[in-house]
Structure 1
Amino acid sequence: MWLEIAVGALCGFLVGTSGLGGPMLFFPLLVTLFRVPAGDAVAISLAFNAIIRTESLAQHWKEVDWRSAGWLLLGGIPAGIAMVLYVHALHADLLREAAFDRTVSIAVGILLLFFGMVQLLNGLLPARSTPREKGAAWQGIAAGAFCGMVFAATSVGAGFVALALTLLFSLGSLQAVATQLLVSAVLTGVPGLIYIVAGTVHLSTLVPFLLGGVPAVALGSRVSHHVKESLLSVIVALVILTGGALLLYSVFW
């Protein structure tokens, strides 16, 4: 139980500092450290991430850009629900096969390496001096639909949400973090709730992780005010890259 609390605390702390990192590390740790099947790990990650992101969002909700969040959620919620229903439509035996777990683990590992590289470049490259033109509504809806499907299938999609907010909407750093937290919390919460109702996730499994994660979010939020943003981006990037590398290593070696 103490190991679960420690892992939850680590992931919660990372969410509190940046809104990213922790949720992306949680899935690889479930698979590699606790030997949870990838299909079950997706469901557990969705539920855990939704709760700790909601707590972190409570400290930033005034900075949310509701326009961009609305377009992303308009596409993301139905797409996420559709993906969960599709996964449940698959035969239960298929979801337990080693090949399925391997495929999910590889997909998540590749996504984490991609997100990590983007985050690393974001921390190392100078900030953009000229604001981007705001994207059209249909672009936000389409991006949200893609993010919703990725979240429901893998539990790691916050990187795509951050990319969508960067490429489609001209948001300040505080607005981007707050809006990413809101969108990610909803897009993990909806499928996570479905998995809980369906019995895929048992609350008793979540409790030890939440015992560590919930208080660590507040601590991470306090620490973030004393760390340079570019340095924080690099640290989070290295955490995400480590998670992706760890996951792929467990699959191929």
Structure 2
Amino acid sequence: MDVGSFGFTLAGLIVGFIVGMTGVGGGSLMTPILLWFGVNPATAVGTDLLYAAITKASGVWVHGRNKNIDWKITGWLSLGSVPAAAVTLWFLSTLHTDTSALNAVIKQGLAVVLILTALALLFKSRLQSFASRHAGDHYHLSDRTLNVLTVLTGVVLGVMVTLTSIGAGALGTVALFLLYPFLVTRRLVGTEIAHAVPLTLVAGLGHAGMGNMDWSLLGYLLLGSLPGIYLGSHLTGRISDRVLRPCLAAMLLLIGYKLAF
């Protein structure tokens, strides 16, 4: 294994460890790291999408066995996100012959979603408190309105994830908590992961079809991330959430700012 390959494996190990320990979506960390390594933005996004689909598939298996997935909510989210992913892929394909334009769109999208993810991490506790206070009145939403809002949430996540590979984790979880304040945390997390797998798989295969994929890079990332997730999951709760989240949010804000400006 040469130095470059070792660097990708090490990056996978670190990101996998952080994801396993904190639950923060890997895309918000992995894609910027790949850009730092000099990987083409479109290739970084496409590779990270399939990376996310594979790593989260094991999470669906575990959460499914423990009955931590609300399949009805997953279905409504997918009803919005998968078609939105297909439309976004079509839009990106129209730019595929103009590499500079494609990369510019992806980098600007990355900047916006990274900043939104950082804000979601910083204000997660306040948003959860707000949702809990209003859980009793259920925001006065009818079931039909709630289903429509869930589909629209899926549309937004589908566009963001397909364009940047980021958003299904922190932003998706916060959105679900606001829409479904009665949903216990473990089912919320399991539902978000179950929705992320088909979304990232469809988006990743679409990018692969456009040539935005480095299969050897994907292998090196998985080689490091799978043991990293295993190790990190055994350290969950060892480091205070009040310390981890602000640090991660600050890092994502910095990366997003640099990409934007």
TM-score clears 0.5: yes
**Which residue of structure 2 aligns with residue 8 of structure 1?**
12
Alpha-carbon separation, structure 1, partners of 2:43 and 2:195? 23
Alpha-carbon separation, structure 1, partners of 2:128 and 2:151? 29
Tell me the C-alpha RMSD between the 2 structures. 2.4
Alpha-carbon separation, structure 1, partners of 2:241 and 2:200? 24
C-alpha displacement at 1:233, in angstroms? 6.5
Mapping of residues 20-169 of structure 1, within 5 Å: 20-32=24-36, 34-61=37-64, 62-92=67-97, 94=98, 96-97=99-100, 100-123=102-125, 127=129, 128=132, 131=135, 133=138, 136-158=146-168, 159-169=170-180
Alpha-carbon separation, structure 2, partners of 1:82 and 1:126? 32
C-alpha displacement at 1:88, in angstroms? 1.2
Deviations 1:38-83 (A, max 9, x none): 2222111111111112223333232011121111011111111121
Alpha-carbon separation, structure 2, partners of 1:155 and 1:165? 19
Mapped contact 1:16–1:56 kept (Cα < 8 A): no
Residue 195 of structure 1 is aligned with which of 207, 210, 218? 207
Q: Give the stretch that moved more between structures: 199-208 or 129-138.
A: 129-138
Alpha-carbon separation, structure 2, partners of 1:25 and 1:233? 19
Mapped contact 2:85–2:203 kept (Cα < 8 A): yes
**Structure 2 vs 1, CA of residues 59 and 220 (structure 1 numbering), >3 Å: closer, same or farther?**
farther
Kindly tell me the number of residue pairs found equivalent between the two proteins.
245
Alpha-carbon separation, structure 1, partners of 2:244 and 2:103? 29
Alpha-carbon separation, structure 2, partners of 1:56 and 1:68? 17
**Structure 2 vs 1, CA of residues 126 and 207 (structure 1 numbering), >3 Å: closer, same or farther?**
closer
C-alpha displacement at 1:166, in angstroms? 1.3
Mapped contact 1:122–1:233 kept (Cα < 8 A): no
Deviations 1:166-212 (A, max 9, x none): 12113111111111111122211111022224432132121111100
Alpha-carbon separation, structure 2, partners of 1:4 and 1:64? 32
In the alignment, structure 1 residue 235 sits paired with structure 2 residue 244: yes
Deviations 1:76-120 (A, max 9, x none): 11111121122112242x2x21x5434422331232122112212
Mapped contact 1:5–1:211 kept (Cα < 8 A): yes
C-alpha displacement at 1:138, in angstroms? 1.2
C-alpha displacement at 1:141, in angstroms? 0.9
Q: TM-score, normalised on structure 1? A: 0.86
Instruction: Give SS of 1:43's match.
Output: helix
Alpha-carbon separation, structure 1, partners of 2:200 and 2:255? 23
Mapped contact 1:102–1:251 kept (Cα < 8 A): no
Mapped contact 1:105–1:248 kept (Cα < 8 A): no
Alpha-carbon separation, structure 2, partners of 1:240 and 1:25? 11
Mapping of residues 174-193 of structure 1, within 5 Å: 174-193=186-205
Alpha-carbon separation, structure 2, partners of 1:197 and 1:59? 30
Identity %: 27
**Structure 2 vs 1, CA of residues 164 and 8 (structure 1 numbering), >3 Å: closer, same or farther?**
same
